[in-house]
Amino acid sequence: MTDCVFCAIVAEDVPSHTVHETPDALAFLDANPLAKGHTLVVPKAHYEQLDDVPAETASGFYDAVHDVVPAVEAAVDAPATTVAVNNGEAAGQEVPHVHAHIVPRFEDDAAGPIHALFRGRPTVSKDEHTTLADAIVDHL
């Protein structure tokens, strides 16, 4: 059996509440949900972080996210979802197999936007914005 729990779920060695399966991706309920209906979407093949996923699998992975989001919202009558990826250990990723969290959201759930993850904001000058944008462009 694989060491990766999500690979084990894909292989059906570990049970899951699977809600959607495509050639590239699998979606199943999170075992420790942040809200009822919290669902994870994973590429079936093992990739640790988003930039490890090859383009053809990435589009299949996103297609599954795209299809599962409205189904989760409808199932729990949620007007919204937070869709998020903890991309790397420093970002809080605990299972090193790419996964998108789809968490149902409600006006009164008090969880806040993903901006609430960060207490402070850096001051970024116009010049720094230009430098940062150039650096990102250079790496694309």
> Known catalytic residues?
99
- What residues contact 105, with CB distance under 8 A and at least 6 apart? 35, 78, 79, 80, 81, 82, 111
Per CB under 6 A, the list member of 11, 31, 74, 76 interacting with ligand AMP is 31
| The two structure tokens encoding residue 83 | 């869709």
> Which among 25-33, 44-52, 69-77, 114-122 is the span making contact with ligand AMP, rule CB under 6 A?
25-33
Site string (76-115) toward ligand AMP, x via CB under 6 A = ----------x-----xxxx--------------------
- Tell whether residue 16 is a contact of ligand AMP (CB under 6 A): yes
Instruction: Identify the CA nearest to 10 among candidates 63, 35, 47, 38.
Output: 47
